[in-house]
Amino acid sequence: MIDCGRRLVTAAVGVLVFAAAAAAGPLQDDLSARRARLIERLGPNALAVFWSAEPKVYSLDTDYEFRQDSDMLYLTGIAQEGAILVLMPGNRTQKEILFVREPNPRREHWNGHGLTKEEATAQSGIKKVYFAGEFESFVTAMFNRRPYGLRRSEITDEYDTFFDAVGANRAALALRLGARPAPSEPLTPVYEFAARARDRFVNVTFVDTLPMIADLRQIKTPYEQTLLEKSAIISGQAHMAGMAAAAPGKFEYQVEAAIEQVYLANGAMSWGYPSIVGSGPNATILHYSESSRQMQAGELLLVDAAANYQGYTVDITRTYPVSGTFTEAQKDLHRLVLAAQEAGMQAAKIGGKTADIEKAAEAVVKPGLLKLGLITDAAGEQFRTWYTHGICHWIGMDVHDVGDYQKPLVAGMAFTIEPGIYVRPQALDNLEDTPENRTFKEKVASAVEKYKGMGVRIEDSFLLTSNGLKRLSETTPRTIEEIERYLKTSRAPAPTASR
């Protein structure tokens, strides 16, 4: 999926389901380790708060399917709305406190079962659980240095570190603040909470947890790596089902349906992002979403799709001929894009940066476009006319996952390499009317006519390991030979029964 700016995906991802097993298990152990690493970074004087995502309205009284906030899911594994996580690193024993919605038989009749305290503990591994209605009282008690939930006769030193920090004006309220809103912009719910807290809990320092948790999420744990691998396997099978379904006369939505059926049939409850299925000229639209066009013989079909498996998604794009065989012109573009990706893969090494991957691919694309006649100067920026987006982004809980692109690559990082060339004649219309550009248009006119309406993107998901680069999507046909061979076998007519 293209990382050429923030993509507004209004449709929420399907409900994430995690089995409520015993409080100890691979998932619970991993969740506990994630929280421990964040607690260490927060420091003893902090009280950190994380909220579940809010439901999103689809229309009138109908909501989108609920998709949990990624940070909340990362730290708790809780997929339902209405939960709140509080971390207090300075506490003696109860450093993790979870709040879940109170039981409500009427709500459960309409919307399904809500987690009990015991189920929330089993799912998250967090032992101390209150109901959500107690959250405000709890936080207020903490900043007033009053132990919560004790009888008058009971004494505890559980919160003494934080209480001492409050008394000495050293307490910190840690929230996922993110980008600062402009003075004229409305406050987000987190900023509204911070504003109210600032007015009531004086002399408190505010800390943004966004860079801390983004840094943690950037390095995938072994458990997370297994989920990404599973997402890649399911996504690869889905792509192959789409390849088998594509044919002249069929519609893009039929390919999309074949892909997404594989997700559900294999335990991935939704897509990781809305599928892009673009045929013919639609393959040159980076975020094409309609899937409504009828495919024609001789065209290319570009498919960008991947499954959300237990909250994790890879990102895979394949481009292949609707008729089953590439034309020579289509092969020209496909070979160039594949060569660019291979160059990027060679540059993806521990200690390097994603910028090295970008530069390695560009070093292949520029002379390649010059050879095809689509540019006249490989030294400048002409190549950007047809090569329009960055080719690396992090993957994980979000298809464009959080992370710092300035950091050196280390083992455990997961990312895409996705070069693409899109020959849209309209791109020439966007050029400034100068003598140089008029000359450029004249010289590339015949090549543009040859390749017009063709879009080719090849995208794979990778995990960087101590042993090198691992292509998670390796089972999905990628080269011209692999694609044509698979299309030939997958679309073969059923044998006629002998009499």
**Would you say residue 4 lies in a domain?**
no
Task: Compute the average pLDDT of residues 84-89.
Answer: 98
Given a cut of 60, is residue 268 above it in pLDDT?
yes
Nearest to 19 by CA among 121, 158, 123: 123
**Would you say residue 495 lies in a domain?**
no
Given a cut of 80, is residue 48 above it in pLDDT?
yes
Q: Please tell me whether residues 190 and 255 are part of one structural domain.
A: no
Q: Please tell me whether residues 362 and 415 are part of one structural domain.
A: yes
**Would you say residue 5 lies in a domain?**
no
Q: Please tell me whether residues 198 and 265 are part of one structural domain.
A: no
Compare 20 and 135 and report the one with higher pLDDT.
135
Given a cut of 70, is residue 445 above it in pLDDT?
yes
* Residue 384: other Cβ atoms inside 10 A: 13
Task: Compute the average pLDDT of residues 279-293.
Answer: 97
**Would you say residue 381 lies in a domain?**
yes
Q: Please tell me whether residues 200 and 227 are part of one structural domain.
A: no
**Would you say residue 21 lies in a domain?**
no
Would you say 451 and 332 are in contact if contact means Cβ atoms under 8 Å apart?
A: yes
In sequence order, what DSSP letters do the residues of 378-442 get, joined into one string? SSSSGGGGT--S----B-BSSSS----TTSPP-TT-EEEE--EEE--THHHHTS---HHHHHHHH
Given a cut of 60, is residue 19 above it in pLDDT?
no
Q: Please tell me whether residues 190 and 242 are part of one structural domain.
A: no
Given a cut of 90, is residue 97 above it in pLDDT?
yes
125-155 per-position pLDDT tens digit: 999 999 999 999 999 999 999 999 887 778 8
Q: Please tell me whether residues 112 and 201 are part of one structural domain.
A: yes
Given a cut of 60, is residue 13 above it in pLDDT?
no
Compare 103 and 23 and report the one with higher pLDDT.
103
Residue 125's CATH number:
3.40.350.10
353-393 per-position pLDDT tens digit: 999 999 999 999 999 999 999 999 999 999 999 999 999 99
Given a cut of 50, is residue 6 above it in pLDDT?
no
**Would you say residue 320 lies in a domain?**
yes
What is the reported pLDDT for 20? 38
What is the reported pLDDT for 25? 92
Q: Please tell me whether residues 206 and 246 are part of one structural domain.
A: no
Given a cut of 70, is residue 98 above it in pLDDT?
yes
pLDDT band (50, 70, 90) for residue 495:
low
Residue with tokens 């070093």: 363
Task: Compute the average pLDDT of residues 51-61.
Answer: 95
Question: Burial, 139: exposed, middle or buried (Cβ in 10 Å; 0-12, 13-18, 19+)?
Answer: buried
Boundary residue ending a domain (216, 231, 261): 216
Residue 233's CATH number:
3.90.230.10
Q: Please tell me whether residues 224 and 177 are part of one structural domain.
A: no
Q: Please tell me whether residues 226 and 205 are part of one structural domain.
A: no
Boundary residue ending a domain (187, 216, 245): 216
Q: Please tell me whether residues 75 and 124 are part of one structural domain.
A: yes
What is the reported pLDDT for 150? 84
Compare 319 and 151 and report the one with higher pLDDT.
319
Task: Compute the average pLDDT of residues 106-124.
Answer: 95
What is the reported pLDDT for 151? 77
Q: Please tell me whether residues 195 and 296 are part of one structural domain.
A: no
Q: Which percentage of the chain shows pLDDT scores above 90?
A: 91
* Domain coverage including residue 285: 220-490
Q: Looking only at Cα atoms, what is the longest distance across the chain?
A: 92
Q: Residue 74 contacts by C-beta under 8 Å, 6 or more apart in sequence?
A: 34, 213, 216, 217, 397
Given a cut of 80, is residue 497 above it in pLDDT?
no
The sign of the torsion formed by the CA atoms of 262, 265, 271, 272 equals negative
Residue with tokens 């420091």: 43
Given a cut of 90, is residue 17 above it in pLDDT?
no
Share the mean pLDDT of the chain: 93
Q: Distance between CA atoms of 54 and 82, rounded to whole angstroms? A: 8
pLDDT band (50, 70, 90) for residue 14:
very low
Nearest to 399 by CA among 494, 499, 308, 317: 308
Q: Please tell me whether residues 251 and 390 are part of one structural domain.
A: yes
Number of structural domains the chain divides into: 2
Task: Compute the average pLDDT of residues 42-60.
Answer: 96
Boundary residue ending a domain (173, 199, 216): 216
What is the reported pLDDT for 21? 40
**Would you say residue 238 lies in a domain?**
yes
Tokens of 195: 């504003």
**Would you say residue 1 lies in a domain?**
no
* First-residue to last-residue Cα distance in the chain: 50
Q: How many helices (H) and strands (E) does the chain have?
A: 15, 19
What is the reported pLDDT for 3? 60
198-227 per-position pLDDT tens digit: 999 999 999 999 999 999 999 999 999 999
Tokens of 434: 């100068």
Q: What is the pTM of this model?
A: 0.92
In sequence order, what DSSP letters do the residues of 235-264 get, joined into one string? HHHHHHHHHHH--TT-BHHHHHHHHHHHHH
